[in-house]
Amino acid sequence: MSPVLILAILVGLAGQIVDGTLGMAYGVTCSTFLLALGIAPAMISYSVKVSEIFTTGVSGVSHIFHQNVNRILCLELAIPGVIGGVTGAYLLSNFDGAKFKPWISAYLIVMGGYIFWRSNHKPIAVDSKATHAIPLALAGGFLDAVGGGGWGPVVTSTLLAKGHPPRYVIGSVNMAEFFVTLSQALTFFFFLKLENLPIIAGLILGGVIAAPFAAKLCKILPAKTMMRLVGVLLILVSARTLLLALKLI
C-alpha cells in the first residue's frame, strides 16, 4: 500500500469522523490536511468532490425517503449552487493553483473561526420566509469548489440561523449538495486529467471505514466540544499553510 494512499485514507477517516459528528465540514477538513501535505489546490478540490459524490448521493436519497426535502428550497439551492460550483471549479482548473493557496488558506482560517463561533452562539430566529437562498447558494457553491469544502457550514448554518425548520434545511441542503458536487466533479474531469486515483480511492475508503465510528462518536462527544476542536484545528493547520505559501516560515 503506497504512502499516498495511506495518507488519503487517514484524511478521509478524519473528514468523515468530523462530518459524521457535526453534519458538515467533510470537505473543509479534507482540504485543510491535503493542502498542508502539498497537494495542488485543483487536485484537492477534484479529489474531494469525486469522493463526495458517493456520500452526498446516499445522503440525499435517504433524506428523500424520510420526506426531509423541501422541493422548492432544494431547487432554489441546487441551480445557483451548481452555477457557483462550476465557476469555482473552472477557475481552479485553468489557473496556476499555487496562486490560490494563500487565498484558500485564508478562507479556511475564516471557516475555522466561523465554526468555532457557531459553537458559542445559538441560532437567532428571524423571518423564515426571507430565505435569500439564491445568492447564498451561489456563494456556497463557489467557495465549496475553490476551498474544497464549505457548502454545509455556509449554507446550512445560514438557513438555520434564519429560523428555518432544521429537518427541511438539512434534507434540502444535502440533496442539493449532490448536484453541486456532481457538477464540480464533471467540470474538473473536463479540464483536468483523471489522475490522483490513490487520493480519491483513499478518501472514499477512509470515509466508508469511519462512518460507523463517527455515528458512535456523535453520541459520546458533545457537539459544541467537537465544533470548537474542529475550528481550532482548521485555524492552526491553515495558518501554517498560509505562512508557508507566503514564505514567512
pLDDT of 75-115, one tens digit each?
999 999 999 999 988 887 777 666 777 887 788 788 788 87
Q: Over the stretch 46-72, which tens digit does the pLDDT of each residue have?
A: 788 788 887 777 777 777 877 888 888
- Which class for 81: exposed (0-12), middle (13-18), buried (19 or more C-beta within 10 A)? buried
Number of folded domains in the chain? 1
- Predicted confidence at residue 27, as pLDDT, reads 77
d(CA 170, CA 184): 21
pTM strictly above 0.85: no
Domain that holds residue 203: 3-245
Tens of pLDDT, residue by residue over 153-163, are: 778 777 876 76
